Amino acid sequence: MPKLTPRGWQVAALAEWERANHRGIVSVVTGGGKTIFALSCVDRIRPIATLIVVPTAALLEQWWEEAANYFDLGLDEINIVTGSLRFRLGTINIAVLNTAAKLAAKIEQHKCFLIVDECHKAASEHFRAALQIQTTASLGLSATPERPYDEGLKDVLIPALGPVIFSYDYGDALRDGVIVPFELRNIVFDLEEDRQAEYDKLSKAIARSISQHGTEAEETIALFLKRARVLNLSLNRIRLALKLVAANRGKRTLIFHEDIEACNLIHAVLSENGVRAGVYHSKMTLRDRAVMLRQYRKGEIDVLVTCRALDEGFNVPETELGIIAASTATRRQRIQRLGRVVRPAQGKTGALIYTLVATGPEIQRLKEEEAQLENIATVGWSRA
């Protein structure tokens, strides 16, 4: 028998999903409990077979563990679909998107309950074959089902999985104690002179390229990427992140950056100064990453410096302080990063997130966020 008492929103969302004939997308704030909700849907309809599709191997491991716990099963009673594409009836199957995209053709004769986690990712050209699987029921899960830059939600996800039937946002989660109260401190700093000049030069080149070739053109995108790198590799940004760690010594801290070199540099400086720090990024082996994460969770290190690899799907509720030293323009990444820090843990009464910004567009995005989070989070601004 399932062991967990469902949260209020999970009961309400389950009722909506049943009303929608066991189809639909549920939008839930990061950390809100969407895994348990999906497993309660499986428990409710007891399908002949379930296929859970996830974007990464790390998320696959989390679902595997949670599903086994929820239904009191051994890990080997749940089928992990690998390259051999072996699919088992009468149980829960879990696959990463890449594998699921190849599976659709193989299991045409079987209908299953299809659950797609972080479903916004399945709308891409590369992965949407995963949505061709024949279904008796379907459920999409995402903190942000809308896809910036395209019509993927309307054209791909809704036809395959059903409409967005339920939303659970920061305000709801705060009210229910699903996340802790949090404070955002946005720090505006100046780029170094030569870097500012390079940023301005690239901004003009981008404007020219947009008028000549359009926003989506390869030339324009290449310039955007170049400008983002100029912005992210500011040494003032790194200095400021280090200063914030020093001012909050001993707090369990996640530092987010966009560049692996910068992450390694921050980690090296912290270690040289006696701070118990680790680093976590995609160039490390899976084993080394697992060791770092474990050390951070157990409190053997206080600071974990990460480059994107922790954006989705990792549960580190012990974190009290987030420092977003560099970020992309996407709202989804922002939501995922805040979600890493605002999860509740024993003895945790609140969370603090610093964001370092240097340019007009960055400041504008945070001003818009401040308006959306009115009465939900405390937002403060300062100059470095």
Residue 378, strand partner residues: 183
Among residues 257, 249, 258, the alpha carbon closest in space to that of 277 is found at 249
pLDDT at position 286, please? 76
pLDDT at position 3, please? 60
pLDDT at position 89, please? 93
The string over 251-266, giving b where at least 16 C-beta atoms fall within 10 Å of a residue's C-beta and e elsewhere, is: ebbbbbbbbbebbbbb
Whether the pLDDT of residue 146 is over 50: the answer is yes
Whether the pLDDT of residue 275 is over 80: the answer is yes
Contact, 179 vs 170, CB < 8 A? yes
pLDDT at position 314, please? 64
CA angle 325, 327, 332 (to 5 degrees): 135
pLDDT tens per residue, range 97-118: 999 999 988 887 889 999 999 8
pLDDT tens per residue, range 16-34: 999 999 999 999 987 788 8
Neighbours of 69 (CB within 10 A): 15
Whether the pLDDT of residue 45 is over 90: the answer is yes
Overall average pLDDT of the 263-276 stretch: 96
The string over 6-37, giving b where at least 16 C-beta atoms fall within 10 Å of a residue's C-beta and e elsewhere, is: ebebbeebbeebeeeebbbbbbbbbbbbbbbb
**pLDDT over 90 for what percent of the chain?**
63
pLDDT at position 309, please? 66
pLDDT at position 200, please? 95
Between the ranges 95-109, 259-273, 301-315, 336-350, where is the mean pLDDT highest? 259-273
Residues 6+ apart with CB under 8 A from 206: 220, 223, 224, 227
pLDDT tens per residue, range 181-215: 999 999 999 999 999 999 999 999 999 999 999 88
pLDDT at position 312, please? 56
Whether the pLDDT of residue 311 is over 70: the answer is no
pLDDT at position 150, please? 47
Q: Of 247 and 307, which is predicted with more confidence? A: 247
Q: Phi and psi at residue 164, in whole multiples of 5°?
A: -70, 115
Whether the pLDDT of residue 2 is over 60: the answer is no
Overall average pLDDT of the 205-233 stretch: 92
Contact, 53 vs 97, CB < 8 A? yes
Q: Tokens 């594998």 correspond to what residue? A: 99
**pLDDT over 70 for what percent of the chain?**
95
Whether the pLDDT of residue 235 is over 90: the answer is yes
Full-model pTM: 0.79
List the structure tokens of 97: 């998107």
